[in-house]
């Protein structure tokens, strides 16, 4: 069997490697969840909301790739696990964004736990690297919170919902330049 020696030396602990692989899986689940939500919005003809969710999916894929690259960069091994099936239906746009905020809050908790683990392992590089995700979660929770707040204001007004749909459709994915591939 061919043995790939790679960088020769693993620079992360087994425990950290496992936790980062788990987070990679969580990011892919997020992508999966938002893709399912995009599909839901397509079925109720809110194309702008769907666009917003497709963009969110791309962001989550980016988060996953960033972890993938980081594990490899540290001489670790990426192990991909099964991704859970996300829900396929929601009662309303409001219910979707309530679920989204809840999910992002959960992910923030996972990122915090990863940082505590990095500290525990005296893994400075991982601790610093993961700060990017801390900032990203602040932004994500804030964005989702804004959408949720507006949906609460709109209540049952179809007119307002259609105006908001137009605005939601303007969101596009722009990968952060500096942090790009890694």
Tokens linked to 47: 């194309």
> Quick one: 101 or 154, whose CB is closer to Fe ion?
101
| Residue closest to Fe ion, measured at CB | 63
The least CB distance from residue 9 to Fe ion, in Å, is 29
Q: How far is CA 86 from the centre of its chain?
A: 14
Annotate each residue in 42-71 with x if it binds Fe ion (CB under 5 A) or - if it does not, as one string: ------------------x--x--------
Interface with Fe ion, residue 123, by CB under 5 A: no
Among 67, 118, 129, 140, binds Fe ion (CB under 5 A): 140
Tokens linked to 114: 């990863």
Q: What is the dihedral of CA 78, 179, 134, 24, to 10 degrees?
A: -20
Tokens linked to 171: 């969101």
Give the C-alpha separation, 61 to 57, whole Å.
6
> Quick one: 13 or 126, whose CB is closer to Fe ion?
126
Which residues bind to Fe ion, rule: CB under 5 A? Answer: 27, 60, 63, 140
């Amino acid at each position: 069997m061919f043995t790939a020696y790679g960088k020769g030396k693993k620079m992360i602990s087994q425990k950290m490697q496992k936790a980062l692989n788990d987070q990679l899986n969580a990011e892919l689940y997020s992508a999966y969840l938002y893709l399912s939500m995009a599909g839901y919005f397509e079925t109720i003809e809110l194309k702008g909301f769907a666009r917003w969710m497709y963009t969110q999916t791309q962001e989550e894929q980016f988060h996953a790739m960033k972890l993938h690259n980081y594990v490899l960069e540290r001489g670790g091994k990426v192990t991909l696990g099964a991704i859970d099936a996300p829900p396929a239906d929601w009662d309303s746009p409001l219910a979707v964004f309530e679920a989204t905020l809840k999910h992002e809050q959960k992910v923030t908790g996972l990122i915090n736990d990863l940082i505590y683990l990095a500290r525990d392992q005296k893994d400075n590089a991982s601790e610093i690297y993961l700060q990017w995700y801390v900032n990203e979660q602040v932004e994500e929770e804030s964005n989702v919170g804004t959408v949720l707040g507006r949906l609460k204001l709109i209540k049952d007004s179809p007119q307002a919902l259609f105006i908001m749909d137009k605005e939601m459709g303007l969101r596009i994915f722009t990968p952060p330049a500096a942090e790009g591939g890694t």
